[in-house]
A = this chain, B = another copy of it.
């Protein structure tokens, strides 16, 4: 028998060893033991006799998760009971299974109003009840409850009822069948297609858990630059294996449909969406899919964009194309997510093109089609004004496409918390039905009364042990799920709860780390593209600054197209005297932004070509504002670095060191951005960088000479 003292030593050693294995794999579902003794005692009491009623794979997942959670968080070994007992301290189940056993603690109609995925968490008679209309609602409730424990909330009197504001809450994986990931910075694709369907990587299950924990209920497995091979029987068997893993967690599988698949794998001579043989081929293919995957979600389609085939190849419209898929999917309740990111034909302004293509088609799409629109008009820039399609399509459901993977946002090495960026778009006012018609209300269906609603995040997940490469990049995956469920949550709240679960509940840590996160997006905008600059990254891989880029055949692939710097000034005139792109917005928006004096500084160069001496709202000249902002960006990252270094005592050595190294890279790269951009723009402004700022230590020629042939994600 071991002595008490040696037992204690043993425990401490085990704890320290366990803490050593902090490789980030567990994401925000770490369930480490709660150190606050009084809280621990209360929680243990409340979880002394837990019950989860019901009987399904989803309920089993809920039981496993609760067991896993309380074993870790509370270090108690309570068995999860299957049916009500008077001693129960915690009861979870569906309305049907619980009301058979116990008088409901809440109004039945209120519960019914929570729909297919909502749940309530209610305290009554000192017991906690988690009740939902469906098994998946119960699982969501369990995850919500575990979040309360992980963030050390008071659970003595809970009265929570919540249901998602958006129906389809999706990840889009730009993952190729050879396991490369387009714009992926976290290793290879997590889908090991070669070993599927027979080898189920544990990671698939943990992926499903993580998604369910934040309410993500769908995943598009394949790149929008699609490969028809995924639709062959050999690969559909693999897709079905993944769908089987995800199903208990409420996650539906979607695929990207290559428009020319009927030719490539169907042996047809055409993919014309109005051709009967083509339409029948898709109907048969869809039927084949649903036989394997009865809850298949549907297709995401990128057509006639960046070389992808599409209906326009046959002189048909995007609506013709989308409706072909819609007809095939409709009998099975599948949906079509048709991407609005198209710029096949040259407009006089790429900004305008999605609107020009799709506005005329408003009302022509079948009811199971949703148009998936990127947050901004161009392409996931550090900051974009909201896409003018939001507010312009009253007869078409619009899905929001955010990009979690940081293609233009520092890629795998910059700490950029994206929630403030998402919120900036979501809270923008389209004025579609007057003031208050925010983008959020467009996409949650409330403005135009749509029930088909969706938010998608282009995944930042890869095979890196910690999933997202940068330990803080996990927060963007987390935030996407949380905001898709409830877009009224604040960036602050999401950052805080993510930090508490992922790192530590210590307020001394959380307060500082939260500030680091909250200032990170603005810092990145400042050191990359302040005052409304955009798309001045390197060609192709988009890593690092290349405002001088002017060699690609399409004008709108070149950075100079976007900033239009010249001796007179800088910026893209999108007013009526320019490309008039602003006319795509409602009058209230366009009139505000059309005047360079009322246009917010942050969007100025998006809409105006202004002189280097233009006076900004700050009182500084434009040139001095650029110098100020670029330097402010660098300074903020240096401040973030310094703040992080002070957090060493709160963080495990592995992740502390990882973030420290990455912030070091970020400072270097922010400085590179600032220096390269200011030196380049200075060749037009002919103005000095004010002496109070750090001066570039290398020449413009040096920055122009840099090459990165193997930058990732390309």
Identify the A interface with B (CB < 8 A).
2, 4, 7-11, 13-18, 21, 23, 25, 71-72, 75, 77, 177-180, 187-188, 193-195, 198-200, 202, 229, 412-413, 463-465, 654, 657-658, 661-662, 664-665, 668, 708-712
Given the complex, which residues of B lie within 8 Å of A412, measured CB to CB?
194-195
Q: Which 5 A-B pairs have the closest CB atoms?
A: A14-B14, A177-B710, A188-B188, A7-B7, A198-B665
Determine the residue in chain B with the shortest Cβ distance to A7. Answer: B7
Query: A25-B23, A188-B188 in contact; A77/B13 too (CB < 8 A)?
Result: yes
- Taken together as a complex, chains A and B put the C-alpha atoms of A709 and B712 apart, in Å, by 23
- Known A13-B71, A198-B668; 9 more pairs at CB < 8 Å: A4-B4, A14-B18, A16-B71, A17-B18, A187-B188, A198-B661, A198-B664, A229-B709, A463-B463
A240 CB → nearest B CB, Å: 16
Establish whether residues B662 and A199, one from each chain, have CB atoms under 8 Å apart when the complex forms. yes
Given the complex, which residues of B lie within 8 Å of A198, measured CB to CB?
661, 664-665, 668
Given the complex, which residues of B lie within 8 Å of A71, measured CB to CB?
13, 16-17
A to B CB contacts below 8 Å, 22 in the list: A7-B8, A10-B75, A11-B11, A11-B14, A14-B15, A14-B18, A17-B18, A18-B18, A178-B712, A187-B187, A187-B463, A193-B710, A194-B412, A194-B711, A195-B413, A198-B665, A198-B668, A199-B662, A199-B665, A229-B709, A463-B464, A465-B465
A199 CB → nearest B CB, Å: 5
Establish whether residues B661 and A712, one from each chain, have CB atoms under 8 Å apart when the complex forms. no
Establish whether residues A17 and B72, one from each chain, have CB atoms under 8 Å apart when the complex forms. yes
- Taken together as a complex, chains A and B put the C-alpha atoms of A188 and B14 apart, in Å, by 32
Query: A14-B15, A187-B463 in contact; A710/B75 too (CB < 8 A)?
Result: no
Given the complex, which residues of B lie within 8 Å of A193, measured CB to CB?
710
Determine the residue in chain B with the shortest Cβ distance to A662. Answer: B199
- Taken together as a complex, chains A and B put the C-alpha atoms of A661 and B201 apart, in Å, by 10
Given the complex, which residues of B lie within 8 Å of A15, measured CB to CB?
14
Determine the residue in chain B with the shortest Cβ distance to A71. Answer: B13
Given the complex, which residues of B lie within 8 Å of A2, measured CB to CB?
8
Establish whether residues B9 and A229, one from each chain, have CB atoms under 8 Å apart when the complex forms. no
Establish whether residues A661 and B17, one from each chain, have CB atoms under 8 Å apart when the complex forms. no
Determine the residue in chain B with the shortest Cβ distance to A4. Answer: B4
- Taken together as a complex, chains A and B put the C-alpha atoms of A195 and B543 apart, in Å, by 12
Of A14, A18, A463, most buried by chain B (CB within 10 Å of CB) is: A14
- Taken together as a complex, chains A and B put the C-alpha atoms of A7 and B16 apart, in Å, by 16
- Taken together as a complex, chains A and B put the C-alpha atoms of A7 and B657 apart, in Å, by 32
Of A25, A72, A75, most buried by chain B (CB within 10 Å of CB) is: A75
A69 CB → nearest B CB, Å: 12
A177 CB → nearest B CB, Å: 4
- Taken together as a complex, chains A and B put the C-alpha atoms of A545 and B247 apart, in Å, by 35
Given the complex, which residues of B lie within 8 Å of A13, measured CB to CB?
71, 75, 77
Given the complex, which residues of B lie within 8 Å of A200, measured CB to CB?
661
Establish whether residues A10 and B9, one from each chain, have CB atoms under 8 Å apart when the complex forms. no
Establish whether residues B11 and A654, one from each chain, have CB atoms under 8 Å apart when the complex forms. no
Given the complex, which residues of B lie within 8 Å of A72, measured CB to CB?
17
- Taken together as a complex, chains A and B put the C-alpha atoms of A16 and B76 apart, in Å, by 12
Given the complex, which residues of B lie within 8 Å of A664, measured CB to CB?
198
Given the complex, which residues of B lie within 8 Å of A9, measured CB to CB?
75, 77
Establish whether residues B25 and A465, one from each chain, have CB atoms under 8 Å apart when the complex forms. yes
Determine the residue in chain B with the shortest Cβ distance to A10. Answer: B75
A79 CB → nearest B CB, Å: 14
- Taken together as a complex, chains A and B put the C-alpha atoms of A340 and B352 apart, in Å, by 60
A289 CB → nearest B CB, Å: 20
Determine the residue in chain B with the shortest Cβ distance to A198. Answer: B665
Given the complex, which residues of B lie within 8 Å of A709, measured CB to CB?
177, 229
- Taken together as a complex, chains A and B put the C-alpha atoms of A2 and B13 apart, in Å, by 16
Given the complex, which residues of B lie within 8 Å of A177, measured CB to CB?
709-710
